[in-house]
Amino acid sequence: MKLQNLQIRLLLLVLACAIGFSIQSLSLAQKDTQPPSKPVQSAQITSPPSQSLAQQGDKLIITQLNSEFNIGLNETAILRAENIWVRFTEVTENSRCPINVQCIWAGRAKIVVNIWKDSQNIGDFVLISGGGSPALAVQNFAGNYNIKFVDLQPAPISGSQTRKSAYIATLMISKTTDKI
């Protein structure tokens, strides 16, 4: 009798473990097949950048001409009316004076953006902010547009290194006939 009770208990224990394992496997499988929780805004727009954005799940910033917009490193902004895409790809220089130091020279920041217009990759452009440089904007890309590099945040702090993922650039796009 004791042996039979022990066998029943063992069988129930094995059965309970199998059911628990099956439920856990089913729940993991459902998580893999569910769509991402955040909507992909680029699905309505058809151009090469939208396809890569949909695959990467990147943040898409919607902006317009003559308006400053903030864009994080590896994020993409779109001017829908103009079908222009701008992707902030790299910070190549940040020699700006740290906020907790007095400097003789204010320094400058250089970033790289990749621009698409009407499904064509216009190319990578180096934008410069500060340092008294006259090269503050890329003029006449795609024939009649300008892009201006307004600011880069966060400002440097002496003794600490800025994480690349923390960078946010402020940019503005205008038509050639408009003043930057």
Distance CA 108, CA 14 (A): 67
Work out the burial of residue 62: count CB atoms within 10 Å of its CB; fewer than 13 is exposed, 13-18 middle, 19 or more buried. exposed
Percent of the chain at pLDDT exceeding 70: 60
The rounded Cα 155 to chain-centroid distance in angstroms is 19
pLDDT of residue 12: 56
Q: Are 164 and 111 in contact (CB under 8 A)?
A: no
At position 45, the amino acid (one-letter code) is: I
- Nearest in space to 69 (alpha carbons), one of 86, 48, 44, 53: 86
Question: Which residues of the chain fall below pLDDT 50?
Answer: 17-18, 20-46, 54-55, 134-135
pLDDT, position 74: 94
The verdict on pTM exceeding 0.85 is no
Q: What is the CATH number of domain 41-175?
A: 2.60.98
What is the pLDDT at residue 66? 92
